[in-house]
Every structure is written in structure tokens, then in C-alpha cells.
Amino acid sequence: MARLLHIEASPRGSESFSARIAAAFVDEYRHSHPQDEVEQLRLFEHALPEFDAEAAAQKMQHISLLMRGEPGVAPVGKWAGVITEIERLKAADKVLISTPMWNFSLPYRLKHYLDVILQPGLTFYVNRRGEYVGKMGGKPLQLIIASGSAYAPGFPRADGGTKTDFLQAYLEHVARWMDFGDIRVIRVQPTAHPVPGEVTALLQGRIEEARAAARSF
């Protein structure tokens, strides 16, 4: 039995392109992996620990302790919530993140989640040569990304001076940093399609792509 964690970063529910494609992915995954468990984390409904002055101070204390060869901060106060989220992520064998693009980048709740779980000694560490080493053990990650406009792959890439996609590049970067081994991407774009009717065909095509991806995930 394996565990799939689905992190949903659109607040738009049944209107959301990324969420509807992710729902098809999860539905097909359940059918093709009937022995597996699926957990859903809806970031706009879930109370993450605030990463405020207390949490930042605990993170700095944690780093100091690690550098002295000690185990790190105890799970109290804000750090207890940090550890809870990291344990949820580590308990997953496979991860699905569905997200919209907001202002060329990620929605603030997904950034909040990443600020919570990206912790030294827990999701990555720095070795004696000063290199980052991830602690996700090469587990697979499926990204489902929706954007109103279409973006060419690659980074950095500017289109007309303003259309640069920081979202996919950033998510892939932190995923590699944490040592996700097999990073797959489904893009649905442009969801603000200028041709009426084309959006329905676009969505249907990506739903089929997601179902096929789920079977081999």
C-alpha cells in the first residue's frame, strides 16, 4: 500500500481548472491503485501554522542547534505545526500538487505551505561541502498547473517583456532541492482562451492526459 498526498492550491473549487484536472487524476488513481490511500490537503481551507516572528526565531534556533550537532528545536509552539506538516509530507510515497498561476508565480497559500515545510535537517540538509541534499528520497511528484495565458516552457524566458513563468520553474526548483526524483508536469493553458468553446476541449484533453498519468504514477 502506498500513500498519495494531493496538495490543492486553488480556492476555486468546481470552477478551478487545476482542481478539476486533479480530481480526474485522483479518481483514476483510486481505480488503478485500489490498495493505496489518498489524502487531500486543501490549502485554502487548512489552517497552516503562521510563519511569524515565533516561527522564524525557532527556525534560526533550529539552524544554530543543527550546526552544533544537536537534534534541533523541540516540537513546541509554532514548530509543532511545522513538524506536523513535514510528517504529513514525509508519510506520502507520492505527491500531487495542483495549482493556479497567480501573478506569474504561485498563490500565497502554496508559498506559505512551502515556507512551512522547507526546513533544514527535515526536508533537506547541507553537507560538509556546503551542498544541498534533499530528504524526499526520490519520491515522484506530479504538478498540475493552470494559467489564464499560455507560457512557453523554459526559464528565464520573457515574452513581450512581461510574460515570464516563475511558477513551474520555482516549483521544480524546490522539488529538486528536496529530492523529488520523478517530476512530471501537466499544464492547462490558456484557461482564458480567446476562442469560445476551445476551453472545454482544452479541459477535456488535459483530463484525459491526467487520467493516463495517474495510471502510471
Ligand X SMILES: Cc1cc2nc3c(=O)[nH]c(=O)nc-3n(C[C@H](O)[C@H](O)[C@H](O)COP(=O)(O)O)c2cc1C
**Which residues here bind ligand X, judged by CB under 6 A?**
10, 12, 16-19, 100-104, 146-149, 191
**Minimum Å distance from CB 192 to ligand X?**
6
Nearest CA-CA partner of 19 in 8, 4, 27, 28: 8
If the CB atoms of residues 14 and 35 are measured against ligand X, the closer one turns out to be: 14
If the CB atoms of residues 58 and 147 are measured against ligand X, the closer one turns out to be: 147
Residue nearest to ligand X (CB): 100
CA of 128: how far to CAs of 7, 74, 125, 131, 175, in Å? 33, 24, 10, 7, 22
CA of 9: how far to CAs of 22, 58, 112, in Å? 11, 26, 11
Instruction: Name residue, grid cell 535537517.
Output: 121
**Minimum Å distance from CB 146 to ligand X?**
3
Helices 53-67 and 78-91 cross at an angle (nearest 10°) of 70
**Minimum Å distance from CB 188 to ligand X?**
7
If the CB atoms of residues 104 and 155 are measured against ligand X, the closer one turns out to be: 104
**Minimum Å distance from CB 191 to ligand X?**
3
